[in-house]
């Protein structure tokens, strides 16, 4: 089930990506709605990170292309923000949490303009949104994994983008922080932003996201969560691996109950 929509905020056409001789994504065609919280699900190595990197032009496609806001990527870079996987960041870089978040404000400043009071206030506000204001002066190397993750999310917020790509933003954060971040993402989606999240836990996927992309090198499904979270599509996405890992019925049952929406 691949639902295409009119006036998408993201569109991907016939995308194929390989690393050297190894194909990772085949013939991906999808369109995504704006103002939604969107999850990307799939087993390890399914190409989830590669998909968001290819959409942003961070990895080269063998064929196909993506457009954002009905425009070429180059014209809309300022409207796109990205939180990479935690492991891909050099956390020994000498900078405080506030420095990192201030960097998010740079591309709204003109060339040669230094960030000032306004940018600092924005950065502190963004740290506050992820409950990290108290750690503003702390070196990032001296933060816990979950705290580092939150600083990077604050940096993305400071970019004041319209689309946010987040690669496993809940990795290493505790459950109460995860819930708070989901609420923050829901608020962002509610105010018209599009938040696209690579996610691992299929139990919570049904309750967190408005829309799901299910991927296993091929696109298995893309559509409203309620419509795509079915036993058939989960099995297609995860193959035999799913039944050993989890109880599909339980996943679907849980998706009817969304504590964050009630």
Ligand X SMILES: Nc1ncnc2c1ncn2[C@@H]1O[C@H](COP(=O)(O)OP(=O)(O)OP(=O)(O)O)[C@@H](O)[C@H]1O
Q: Does 50 bind ligand X (CB under 6 A)?
A: yes
Q: Does 24 bind ligand X (CB under 6 A)?
A: yes
Q: Which residues pair with 10 in a beta bridge?
A: 32, 68
Q: Report how far residue 224's alpha carbon sits from residue 221's, in angstroms, rounded to the nearest whole number.
A: 10
The answer to whether residues 47 and 17 touch, using CB atoms and an 8 Å cutoff, is yes
Q: How far is the CB of 11 from ligand X (least distance, A)?
A: 20
Q: Does 233 bind ligand X (CB under 6 A)?
A: no
Tell which one of 1, 7, 27, 45 touches ligand X (CB under 6 A): 45
Q: Report how far residue 187's alpha carbon sits from residue 37's, in angstroms, rounded to the nearest whole number.
A: 9
Tell which one of 44, 88, 191, 244 touches ligand X (CB under 6 A): 44
Number of residues that bind ligand X (CB under 6 A): 10
Shorter beta-carbon distance to ligand X: residue 45 or 116: 45
Tell which one of 49, 105, 222, 225 touches ligand X (CB under 6 A): 49
140 DSSP 8-state letter: G
Q: Does 19 bind ligand X (CB under 6 A)?
A: yes
Q: Which residues pair with 195 in a beta bridge?
A: 37, 164
Residues 6+ positions from 225 with CB-CB distance below 8 Å? 39, 205, 206, 209, 210, 211, 212, 255
Q: Does 48 bind ligand X (CB under 6 A)?
A: yes
Q: How far is the CB of 19 from ligand X (least distance, A)?
A: 3
Which residues here bind ligand X, judged by CB under 6 A?
19, 24, 42, 44-50
């Amino acid at each position: 089930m691949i639902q295409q929509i009119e006036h998408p905020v993201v569109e991907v056409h016939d995308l194929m990506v390989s690393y050297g001789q190894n194909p990772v994504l085949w013939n991906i065609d999808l369109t995504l709605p704006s103002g939604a919280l969107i999850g990307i699900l799939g087993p390890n190595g399914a190409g989830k990170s590669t998909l968001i990197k290819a959409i942003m032009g961070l990895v080269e496609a063998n064929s196909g292309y993506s457009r954002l806001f009905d425009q070429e990527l180059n014209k809309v870079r300022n409207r796109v923000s990205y939180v990479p996987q935690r492991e891909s960041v050099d956390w020994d870089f000498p900078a405080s949490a506030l420095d990192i978040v201030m960097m998010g404000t740079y591309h709204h400043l003109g060339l040669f303009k230094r960030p000032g009071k306004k940018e600092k206030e924005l950065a502190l506000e963004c740290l506050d949104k992820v409950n990290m204001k108290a750690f503003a002066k702390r070196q990032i190397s001296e933060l816990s994994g979950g705290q580092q993750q939150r600083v990077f999310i604050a940096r993305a917020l400071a970019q004041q983008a319209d689309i946010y790509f987040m690669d496993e933003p809940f990795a290493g954060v505790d459950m109460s922080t995860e819930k708070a971040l989901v609420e923050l993402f829901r608020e962002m989606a509610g105010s018209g932003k599009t938040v696209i999240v690579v996610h691992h836990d299929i139990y919570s996927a049904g309750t967190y996201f408005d829309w799901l992309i299910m991927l296993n090198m091929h696109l298995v499904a893309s559509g409203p969560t309620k419509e795509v979270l079915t036993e058939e599509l989960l099995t297609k996405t995860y193959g035999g691996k799913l039944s050993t890992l989890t109880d599909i019925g339980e996943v679907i049952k849980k998706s009817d109950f969304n504590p964050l929406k009630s």
